[in-house]
Amino acid sequence: MIRVRLIHNRVALLLAAVTVVAALALPFLGFAPNRLLSGKAIALSAAAGGGWSAAALLPVALLLAVPFLRAGRMVNALYTGAGALAAAGLVWLAGQHAALLAATASPAARTSFAAGFWVMEAAALLAVLDGVRRLGLGPAGRVAVGALAAALIGGQFAAGHLDQLSIMKEYANQRDVFAGAVLRHAALVAAALLPTLLIGVPLGIAAQRSPAVGRLVFPVLNVVQTIPSIALFGLLLAPLSALAAAFPGLGIGGVGPVPAVIALTLYSLLPIARNTAAGLAGVPEPVREAARGIGMTPRQVFWRVEAPLALPVFLSGLRITLVQAVGLAAVAALIGAGGLGAIMFQGLFANALDLVLLGAVPVILLAVAADAALKLASALALSRLGRMAA
């Protein structure tokens, strides 16, 4: 009996099913007379109903077909491309419909993304990731696909196509502080990164060289890692206030950026120190012995042999650290450190969900960008090491 294989890509099938359910059962957009009232739901069929704007959904339709196509390089390229175009098309459709509604509504009226949009957008982006993986693209190819998707969506922001969406109206209100908040957020992370590297890397090296140091350091860092971030800010409040009272000239206090940077540093030490130690522990012992045996000084053994071989594992620790710090820095707004968290909390306290989004989406984008940049860096470091270190 000939068994006909109907499904060629199970991941794509799942994404297609999720997309269909979201398109039919969940609201695509919400429309409210002002930002405080809850809005009425707008289905995808209504948003796409206006003549040729339904064409934006063509790539979504292509995605639905992918699971049934025989897998191959062409199909995977189609899959990836359709995913990127679908992600951009959904955003375009939302912007288009928001503009249509704004033409007849009061200026206070708000059009927001609703559950259906988020689910379909996520499915489209996951299709891009899955497609890139199936294509087996190298680091450069992955970055190119990521940049293409970012350009397709970013271009619409830049062109003002999305200005009538609620999140962009919030952006218009916050325009003066938004860029400063993004910079502050990045600065908090960067300021924590420096002491993290200065302390975490030597700790990791010491822990790998001497098991006794490791037994002391890692449990302490593990405990720090388990303290909830808000609790840690609270714990730092008392000693730092005392310090500020004792030395007013230092310019530090129990609240503000200093405790935020200290807390971020404490959280970041574990992944950095642990991956530094793990990377060094992964250097094969014969390689170390050969390096010493041919006459390298301890410093040369470290810089010429151990450090390059430990680099990929170290970079993955740095990636975890950065992504974690970008997220944690948002909470630091609670102790007055500023950053994108300040916008998020302002939205939370005002019950303005789109203002929360205006803070949260850039945090996610920053984290994704840091993740992608470091993945690229470790892929490059790995490819230089060849299969040996894989």
Partner 1 sequence: MIAFEGVTKRFGAWTAVDDLSLSVAAGEFRVLIGPSGSGKSTVLRMMNRLIAPDAGTIRVEGEDIARLKPETLRRRMGYVIQSIGLFPHWTVERNIAAVPDLLGWPRARVRDRVTELLTLLNLDAERYRGAFPHELSGGQQQRVGVARALAAEPHILLMDEPFSALDPITRGALQAEMAAIHKATGTTIVFVTHDMDEALTLASRIAILDRGRLVQTGTPLDILTRPADDRVRDLVGREDWGLKRLAVETVAERTRPGETAPGDPLAAGASLRQALAAMVACGTDRLPVADGQGRPMGVLHLADLLRGADRA
Q: Which residues bind partner 1 (CB under 8 A)?
A: 284-297, 300, 304-305, 308-309, 384-389
Least gap, CB of 200 to partner 1 (angstroms)? 23
Nearer to partner 1, 249 or 286 (CB): 286
For 224, the 3-state DSSP assignment is: helix
Least gap, CB of 143 to partner 1 (angstroms)? 23
Least gap, CB of 201 to partner 1 (angstroms)? 19
| Rg over CA atoms, the chain | 25
What's the CA gap between 357 and 363, in Å, rounded? Answer: 10
Residues with Cβ within 8 Å of 258's Cβ and at least 6 positions away in sequence, in order, are 240, 252
What's the CA gap between 257 and 240, in Å, rounded? Answer: 12
- The torsion of the CA quartet 384, 385, 389, 390, rounded to 10 degrees, works out to 30
What's the CA gap between 322 and 385, in Å, rounded? Answer: 24
Nearer to partner 1, 40 or 384 (CB): 384
Backbone dihedral angles phi then psi of residue 49, each to the nearest 5 degrees: -70, -25
Nearer to partner 1, 264 or 389 (CB): 389
Joined together, the tokens standing for residue 224 give 């720090």
Least gap, CB of 296 to partner 1 (angstroms)? 7
Nearer to partner 1, 225 or 383 (CB): 383
Nearer to partner 1, 121 or 306 (CB): 306
Nearer to partner 1, 10 or 387 (CB): 387
For 49, the 3-state DSSP assignment is: coil
Least gap, CB of 300 to partner 1 (angstroms)? 7
Beta-strand relationship, 110-113 and 40-42: unpaired
Long-range contact pairs involving 21-27 (C-beta distance under 8 Å, separation at least 24): 21/119, 22/115, 22/116, 22/119, 22/120, 22/123, 23/60, 23/116, 23/120, 25/116, 26/114, 26/115, 26/116, 26/119, 27/114, 27/115, 27/116
Q: What is each CA distance from 125 to 78, 87, 90, 156, 245, in whole angstroms?
A: 14, 6, 11, 17, 51
Least gap, CB of 133 to partner 1 (angstroms)? 24
Least gap, CB of 293 to partner 1 (angstroms)? 4
Least gap, CB of 210 to partner 1 (angstroms)? 19
